């Protein structure tokens, strides 16, 4: 069984980075609201600040629910554990994996990939995982053949689309 974990710095950022950022944005929001009592022009930046706080924390709460910090893979299954504030353990057999989305599979390598199984479990994996490429190799080599073909076909279409867009830009 091969074990994959995030580096300590990545774990810290993925777990706690939103706390100081949210606190700073809240202080800034309070100052903007206080300034709005003198001039209404401060309301637009205050609204923007509220939107940023909402988007940031929505992203982090999604990460808390779906990102495991410990992944163990063997020949028949993957075990996801060490979720933030949760003691849950998700075991996915390779045959039960229904889809793989996001990240390099959607043409956006900086975004996380999401693994979905037939039991409606969703697990997110970020590219900062130690030996991420090894994990992807293990995953792709053991998923069902029809899903593997679908994922490769989707990636090929993304490549063709990207090439066509690049060609259009060059011809203009």
In contact, 140 and 73? CB cutoff 8 Å: no
Task: Note the pLDDT of residue 166.
Answer: 63
Per-residue pLDDT tens digits for 6-50: 999 988 998 899 999 999 999 999 999 999 899 999 999 999 999
Rounded Cα distance between 50 and 56, Å, is 10
The predicted structure's pLDDT at residue 153: 87
The answer to whether the CB of 50 falls within 8 A of the CB of 29 is yes
Q: Are the CB atoms for 61 and 15 separated by under 8 Å?
A: no
d(CA 28, CA 75): 51
Q: Say what the pLDDT of residue 138 is.
A: 92
In this prediction, residue 102 carries a pLDDT of: 87
- The model's pTM is 0.81
- Token reading at 5: 């974990």
pLDDT, position 91:
93
Instruction: Give pLDDT < 50 ranges for the chain.
Output: none
Between vectors from CA 110 to CA 152 and to CA 129, what angle results, nearest 5°? 90
């Amino acid at each position: 069984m091969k074990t994959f974990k995030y580096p300590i710095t990545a774990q810290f950022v993925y777990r706690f980075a939103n706390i100081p950022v949210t606190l700073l944005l809240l202080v800034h929001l309070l100052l903007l609201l206080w300034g709005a009592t003198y001039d209404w022009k401060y309301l637009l930046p205050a609204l923007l600040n509220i939107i940023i706080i909402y988007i940031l924390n929505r992203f982090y709460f999604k990460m808390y629910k779906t990102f495991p910090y410990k992944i163990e893979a063997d020949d028949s299954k993957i075990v996801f554990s060490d979720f933030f504030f949760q003691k849950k353990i998700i075991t996915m057999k390779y045959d039960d994996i229904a889809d793989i989305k996001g990240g390099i599979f959607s043409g956006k390598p900086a975004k996380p990939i999401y693994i979905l199984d037939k039991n409606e479990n969703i697990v997110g994996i970020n590219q900062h995982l130690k030996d991420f490429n090894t994990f992807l190799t293990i995953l792709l080599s053991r998923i069902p053949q029809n899903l593997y073909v679908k994922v490769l076909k989707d990636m090929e279409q993304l490549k063709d689309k990207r090439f066509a867009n690049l060609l259009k830009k060059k011809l203009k």
